[in-house]
Structure 1
Amino acid sequence: MSNIKLIIEERASNIGNFMVGRLLPFREKRMVGPFSFIDHMGPVCLSDHENLDVPPHPHIGLSTLTYLFEGSIMHKDSLGNEVEIKPGQVNWMTAGSGIVHSERTPAYLRHSDKMLHGLQIWVALPKDKEEMAPEFYHIEENEMPVWESGEVSFKLIAGEAFGKKSPVPVFSPLYFLELKTTTRQTVKIGEYLYGESALYILEGAIESEGNVYGPKQILIAKDSQLCEFEMQENTSVYIFGGEPFPEERFIYWNFVASSKERIEQAKATWLEQSFPAVPGETEFVPLPEQGKQIKP
């Protein structure tokens, strides 16, 4: 019997002047553990007159995780942080009661050709942390646990698994793992996983129970304890999951909350322009059309 419960294909979505592949949420699977949103950016080559420009926008009730494979993004937020993120690093921003940030191509790259490729992820906060004070952390690549098993390279980007712990300061039991191999390898890792679990294929392919799955798909497991598959040559996958929350989470635009009332409050606060400002930024992004549930 197959352990794959659901297959989610990337769907194109526009985030302003940039197209991404949306993976979560999906109508049949809103969250995997605490993970509520995943966008695959690129890979795309931006010319000398094309740049990523996501103007200041608000968040509540979640942490954002940005992880790049290629390129660079300048993060600026209402706490006063201004940090460039490069491939292999993690930007981890916890919105809590409310934060505003922008994401742009750095100034020194704005007039040259450049690549951009990465993942943007939202992790919902536990109910008792939804109104915590906002925080921001930048984690260097060499701070994350890395190890080899056979000819598979592992990196624990966030959370806890395999008896290891990432320095990313998460707030509930979760894991976000990178697995890479240049040769065909069988992977048996179910005993190290917990809660709900899913696998994203970035490049290459995996085989499971006689079926072959290629890039730009998320495979949702029925049981994380049965996680076993074969990675083909030159394959990179990302495994994410953790313990789900007992309460439902609602998503509207950039807001995640365990109550619809809190989202309505955040909408009103944004329209009143009462969220904290990002230093040096003056643009105002209006709320999306009613019913549009995810950030533009």
Structure 2
Amino acid sequence: MTMGITTTIQPVSHDLGAFTVRRVLPSPRRIMVGPFIFVDQFGPAEIPPGHGMDVRPHPHIGLATVTWLFEGAINHRDSLGSFATIRPGQVNLMTAGHGIVHSERGLPEEFDRPKRIYGMQTWLALPDGQEDIAPAFESRAELPLVEDNCASARVIMGTLWGRTAPTTQYAATIYAEIVLAPGGAIPIDADADERAVMLVGGEAELDGVALEPYALAVLAPGQAMRLASDRGARVMLLGGEAFHSPRHVWWNFVHSSRERINAAKDDWFAGRFPKVPGDEDEFIPLPKIPMTRSD
């Protein structure tokens, strides 16, 4: 590692047939970066005709999901009755709190034609005292854009480069998509407790050190750095407030209490979570051994 990059977390890849999902958090090397406790990147890929994203209804507690697309479109439905078509440039924040159920599916009108998919799915752990708040949903497209001739950055959450996104925060959070043209560069502020970057397209370097594609580079706290690219790149910056009490992850459940997670398992198995209006007929069963777990 360099002095600026303290840890590099390699992704675990899951081949879903039409596209690949790469997961960097949680990992054995690190559970969280700021509030971020789950980071998935998927695509870029073209989904062929007759196939599509098809994530059946499933539950969450103790977290907020953040969906961000570079390409494609996804229909979101949840047990609050929310419906939104997620598109590039629009952030969807779903707060699970004490419990929510949602589905994510491709657009029916696109099923019989090729379609692109490329984006990020992240989870934010809710802070102490807010883990069991009421569920909520918001979708925002009016997000600050910081740009010059060779660099642009969309502030998805928090305050960066002097601009603040309107997206709700429960703990102090930073999240941004950075696009560098060939020869572009941008400073990475040092204000957040914890920060990381993920190269999701092209080539880039941080203080002269090349970033590995799809790996999560965790940055040293308090150190200002410079992100640059000779050939062009897309990079995600994420992080925020450090959590001082641990969080546990089991499947789609995040909480400081293992007992609360066990209760959520029982509730999902017994059918006590609410249904998703317009998507009531299917669900993902409780797994015996989940792919996502922290301990």
Deviation at 1:294, TM superposition (A): 4.8
> Which piece of structure 1 moves more, 7-16 or 71-80?
7-16
Quote the Cα distance in structure 2 between the aligned partners of 1:17 and 1:74: 18
- For residues 210-255 of structure 1, what are the alpha-carbon distances to aligned partners after superposition, in whole Å with 9 as ceiling and x for unaligned? 4322421211112243333433331111111101111100000000
Give the AA of the match of 2:275: A
Q: Does residue 69 of structure 2 align to residue 68 of structure 1?
A: yes
> Which piece of structure 1 moves more, 159-168 or 243-252?
159-168
Quote the Cα distance in structure 1 between the aligned partners of 2:209 and 2:188: 19
- Aligned residue in 1 for 2:173: 174
Quote the Cα distance in structure 2 between the aligned partners of 1:224 and 1:217: 21
Quote the Cα distance in structure 2 between the aligned partners of 1:276 and 1:18: 30
Deviation at 1:15, TM superposition (A): 6.4
> Which piece of structure 1 moves more, 103-112 or 229-238?
229-238
Q: Does residue 244 of structure 2 align to residue 246 of structure 1?
A: yes
- Aligned residue in 2 for 1:256: 254
Q: SS in structure 2 opposite 1:127?
A: coil
- Aligned residue in 1 for 2:160: 161
CA 1:50–1:161: 2 relative to 1, 3 Å? same
State the TM-score, normalized to the length of structure 2.
Answer: 0.93
Q: Does residue 32 of structure 2 align to residue 34 of structure 1?
A: no
Q: Does residue 136 of structure 2 align to residue 146 of structure 1?
A: no
Give the AA of the match of 2:59: P
Give the AA of the match of 1:250: H
Residue identity over aligned pairs, in percent, reads 38
Q: Is the 8 A contact 2:59 2:100 kept in 1?
A: yes
- For residues 20-60 of structure 1, what are the alpha-carbon distances to aligned partners after superposition, in whole Å with 9 as ceiling and x for unaligned? 11121111011100000111111121111111110000000
Quote the Cα distance in structure 2 between the aligned partners of 1:293 and 1:38: 11
Alignment coverage as a number of residue pairs: 292
Q: Does residue 100 of structure 2 align to residue 102 of structure 1?
A: no
Give the AA of the match of 2:201: E
Deviation at 1:179, TM superposition (A): 1.6
CA 1:44–1:3: 2 relative to 1, 3 Å? same
Give the AA of the match of 1:249: R
CA 1:214–1:246: 2 relative to 1, 3 Å? closer
Q: SS in structure 2 opposite 1:175?
A: strand
In terms of fraction of residues, the more helix-rich structure is: 1
- Aligned residue in 2 for 1:228: 226
Quote the Cα distance in structure 2 between the aligned partners of 1:155 and 1:89: 10
- Aligned residue in 2 for 1:269: 267
- Aligned residue in 1 for 2:86: 85
Query: Pairwise CA RMSD of aligned residues?
Result: 2.0
Quote the Cα distance in structure 1 between the aligned partners of 2:53 and 2:207: 40
Quote the Cα distance in structure 2 between the aligned partners of 1:89 and 1:67: 7
Quote the Cα distance in structure 1 between the aligned partners of 2:80 and 2:271: 16
Quote the Cα distance in structure 2 between the aligned partners of 1:67 and 1:186: 23
Structure 1 segments unaligned to the other structure (5+ residues): none
> Which piece of structure 1 moves more, 105-114 or 56-65?
105-114
Structure 2 segments unaligned to the other structure (5+ residues): none
Quote the Cα distance in structure 1 between the aligned partners of 2:202 and 2:81: 40
Q: How does 1:12-31 map to 2 (within 5 A)?
A: 12-13=13-14, 19-31=20-32
- Aligned residue in 1 for 2:55: 54
- For residues 188-209 of structure 1, what are the alpha-carbon distances to aligned partners after superposition, in whole Å with 9 as ceiling and x for unaligned? 3334x31100011111222245
State the TM-score, normalized to the length of structure 1.
Answer: 0.92
Give the AA of the match of 2:263: Q
> Which piece of structure 1 moves more, 277-286 or 145-154?
145-154
Dislocated runs of 4+, deviation >6 Å: none
- For residues 92-136 of structure 1, what are the alpha-carbon distances to aligned partners after superposition, in whole Å with 9 as ceiling and x for unaligned? 100000000000011111111111111001011012111111000
Q: SS in structure 1 opposite 2:259?
A: helix
| Match for residue 213 of structure 1 among 206, 211, 224 | 211
